[in-house]
């Protein structure tokens, strides 16, 4: 097992007819905070976001590899946001968890939005990171999108390093840091990658957001994101009634890495602070 998962419980779970590799952190520890259900970016395995799970040490954390990604077996049939949100909800049932705070990055931000609307009763707060409303999005730079479409970005380390700044921004320092992140990535299978692309084909949350997304929502964007430009975060903020937008200055698509301390502080402040706000409101009402 990778060193970044040394504090995680990793298992293969049968969930709704699918086999998924699941990682959980601290679910057996007492906490005053709800656990986080995290949806990863396209083609990204659990290890890529494990450092965030470690950083949010005051709460439980749940993440799984999508079918055909990481160490989850290839999907036998395609899936869509509805079926995968249902699968994630079944996973929570199996783990004995009722309510969660939901987070998602990039592609996973779309899944997080869908889950929060489809399973509103068990979603308390929502954090959307470097993401969009789906089909109705302002596209990134053609140079970055061309490289995004090439699966070599996962399979060929030299290709990734050569194009890293075009894809993810210049805020990650020396190449050692880039290689460090690359070492956490495992290429998805061709079928897993294709099915994940197909999952969001034609999907958009835009018409539903003003009416169905009632949870308090934190939208985090980088102002130098070549893949999902800041305009998309502003669009989400306009559509989601109970939202706030935080912009990472100089942040590219992976500002969770380049602006790690600032990002964790914003997430923790939002998730922990809202609980304090609720207690304050109850005290005032009394």
Residues serving a catalytic function are 106
Give one DSSP letter per residue of 218-244, joined into a string.
EEEEETT-SSS-HHHHHHHHHH-TTEE
> How far apart, in Å, are the Cα atoms of 147 and each of 2, 181, 214, 278?
28, 18, 36, 45
Structure tokens at 84: 């995968």
Non-local (6+) Cβ contacts of 198 within 8 A are 78
Does residue 43 contact residue 27 with C-beta atoms inside 8 Å?
no
Q: What angle do CA 261, 266, 272 make, to 5 degrees?
A: 120
Which residue(s) pair with 128 in the sheet?
104, 219
Q: From CA 51, how far away is CA 270, in angstroms rounded? A: 19
Q: What angle do CA 174, 157, 129 make, to 5 degrees?
A: 65
Structure tokens at 217: 């929502």
3-state secondary structure 46-94: HHHCHHHHHHCCCCCEEEECCCCCCCCCCCCCCCCHHHHHHHHHHHHHH
């Amino acid at each position: 097992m990778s060193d970044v998962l040394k504090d995680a419980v990793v298992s293969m779970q049968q969930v709704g007819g699918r086999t998924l590799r699941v990682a959980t952190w601290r679910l057996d520890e007492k906490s005053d905070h709800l656990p986080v259900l995290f949806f990863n970016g396209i083609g990204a395995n659990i290890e890529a976001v494990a450092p965030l799970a470690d950083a949010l040490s005051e709460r439980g954390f749940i993440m799984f590899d999508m079918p055909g990604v990481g160490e989850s077996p290839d999907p036998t049939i395609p899936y869509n946001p509805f079926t995968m949100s249902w699968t994630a909800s079944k996973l929570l049932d199996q783990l004995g968890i009722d309510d969660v705070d939901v987070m998602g990055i990039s592609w996973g931000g779309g899944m997080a939005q869908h889950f929060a609307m489809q399973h509103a009763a068990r979603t308390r707060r929502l954090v959307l990171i470097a993401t969009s409303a789906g089909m109705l999005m302002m596209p990134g730079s053609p140079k970055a999108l061309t490289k995004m479409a090439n699966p070599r970005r996962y399979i060929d380390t030299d290709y990734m390093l050569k194009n890293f700044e075009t894809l993810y921004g210049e805020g990650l320092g020396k190449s050692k840091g880039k290689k460090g992140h690359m070492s956490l990535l495992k290429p998805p299978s061709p079928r897993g990658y294709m099915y994940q692309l197909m999952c969001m084909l034609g999907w958009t949350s835009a018409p539903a957001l003003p009416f169905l997304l009632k949870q308090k929502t934190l939208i985090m964007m980088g102002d130098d994101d070549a893949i999902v430009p800041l305009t998309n975060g502003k669009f989400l903020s306009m559509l989601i009634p109970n939202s706030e937008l935080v912009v990472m200055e100089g942040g590219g698509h992976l500002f969770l890495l380049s602006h790690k301390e600032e990002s964790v502080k914003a997430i923790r402040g939002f998730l922990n602070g809202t609980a304090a706000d609720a207690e304050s409101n109850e005290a005032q009402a009394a």
